[in-house]
Structure 1
């Protein structure tokens, strides 16, 4: 039981660190202004809404907290790849 909690804590900490990087990259994009910044702002809102719905569905269908965190990490990594191109 303790091992499962430790794994979740570690995975959550990794997600937090990765999210910080993406937040910085997004802030830089927004600070530049223009069409890319507007598109990024719109994308942020729609992605957060979709991620919330996905997380709620995962929990509602009996998914674990770790599965929810994995889903968020997948989205965060995709954003990092996109923003660092």
Structure 2
């Protein structure tokens, strides 16, 4: 049986999202779409070259308590944030 990449891996799954590879004009829309596609218990591991404070504020305004944010790495040039959907 072939692997179906469109299927969720389920609760506890961590999906990587490297924002550095997305054109700047599409970046926020792509991030919001990816977050909206997550199921409760799933996590998007976001990687970026700078701390996206305005984006974090937008995510909080759009998703509220549905998304839990936690820094995994917070160093200049290397930012990793886990966004987990809570039920």
TM-based fold match above 0.5: no
Q: Which has the higher contact order (CA 8 A, sep 6+)?
A: 1
- Give the structure-1-normalised TM-score: 0.28
Q: Which has the higher strand share?
A: 2
> Which is higher, the Rg of structure 1 or of structure 2?
1
| TM-score, with structure 2 as normaliser | 0.28
**Bigger helix share:** 1
